Amino acid sequence: MPFDNICKYLSEKYPDRFAAWLLGESPATVEILKTELGIEPIRADYVTFLQTEGRILHLEFQVKVASDPPLPLRMLDYWVRLHRRHRLPVTQVLVILQPPPPEVMIETLFHLERTRHEYEVVKLWEQDPEVFLQDVALMPLAVLAAASDPTQLLNRVAQRVSNIESLEQRQETITCTQLLAGLRFKREIILQAFRGRVMRESVIYQDILQEGKLEGKLEGKLEGKLEGKLEGKLEGELALILRLLVRRVGAIAPPLQSQIQALPLPQLEDLGEALLDFSDTADLIAWLNKHSQENEG
């Protein structure tokens, strides 16, 4: 489950709100930079350019602290490449989504002989949930924040989500919230928190896999040509995946839409995870071709 990619998606959609949370002030403008960095291409999870302050903000979301290469070395590598390309100060924030095992140390710097590089670490489980509950863009993160009674916090988040006026915004927030909640809660607890409030309007990936059905159906039709976005209202999990695909790779040709709509439910869930790493339509086509060959085999 790409929990860090859910955060990546949210921060890409709401860069100003994430920058305001982590920098303590709202920038006038935020430009999202390409996340591929040379010389040999590596990918930073998320990079923004704060034009008004002449500063790069690099956000790195992690579920597990252990990595190869180690996180401190990766953060140093990102900093050098970013600074060399833009010649600007770089603020780096490593956001860790869940506590590591007790024996694992969370490092905040790279130190080897005379080389020393520090970066900020945000432990989400120590953050005040009220900060997230007051902002729709950050609301899904609230389920992982500090709480003496985590289940009570989950219920509060579900109630706040149910009060979002925009149907599209509400459905998207429900999905992201339920997915991130999977890091902390069992599926039954998540379902219980949302059922009776917004569950009928929402479909979470776990339900698609385990119950074998879509709670929502497509409502409305595609009107006209797709020119960078889907027109009409689409509800349910399939609708969310189509909307995310358009955001990631642009307009989806009707033949590709038909292939996506015909996917078995387990593969639809797999596509929902994989699409967050797509960069263009070629990635989508390659993914569909691969799974088509698997089905024929």
Residue 197 φ/ψ, nearest 5 degrees: -110, -70
HSE-CB for 219 with a 13 A CA cutoff: 9
Omega before 150 cis (within 30°)? no
Residue 233's contacts (CB-CB under 8 Å, 6 or more residues apart) are 167, 168, 219, 220
Q: Which is higher by pLDDT, 201 or 93?
A: 93
Cβ neighbours around 199 below 10 Å, total: 20
The residue-averaged pLDDT of 166-189 equals 86
Q: Domain limits of the chain?
A: 3-126, 129-202, 237-296
Evaluate if residue 79 carries a pLDDT over 60: yes
Q: Which is higher by pLDDT, 99 or 219?
A: 99
Q: For residue 34, what pLDDT is reported?
A: 65
Evaluate if residue 147 carries a pLDDT over 80: yes
- The matching CATH number, chosen from 3.90.1200, 3.30.1490, 3.40.50, 3.40.1350, for 3-126 is 3.40.1350
| Spacing of C-alpha 30 from chain mean position | 18
Q: Quickly tell me which residue has 């706040």 as its tokens.
A: 160
Integer CA distances (angstroms), 73 to 38, 127, 217, 223, 256, in order: 16, 26, 46, 49, 41
Between CA 135 and CA 129 the distance in angstroms is: 10
HSE-CB for 156 with a 13 A CA cutoff: 17
Q: Quickly tell me which residue has 């928190």 as its tokens.
A: 193
Evaluate if residue 167 carries a pLDDT over 60: yes
Determine if residue 113 is left, alpha or beta; phi over 0 gives left, psi from -120 to 50 gives alpha, anything else beta. Answer: left
SS3 per residue for 208-268: HHHHCCCCCCCCCCCCCCCCCCCCCCCCCHHHHHHHHHHHHHCCCCHHHHHHHHCCCHHHH
Q: Which is higher by pLDDT, 27 or 203?
A: 27
Q: Which is higher by pLDDT, 215 or 183?
A: 183
Reported as a single tens digit per residue, the pLDDT across 235-263 is 456 777 887 888 888 888 777 887 888 77
Average pLDDT, the chain: 78
Q: Is beta strand 90-96 parallel, antiparallel or unpaired with respect to 55-62? A: parallel
Q: Which is higher by pLDDT, 16 or 144?
A: 144
Type and span of the H or E element at 73 = helix 71-86
| Spacing of C-alpha 163 from chain mean position | 22
CA angle 174, 179, 180 (to 5 degrees): 100
Q: Give pTM, 2 decimals.
A: 0.65
- Radius of gyration, alpha carbons of the chain: 20
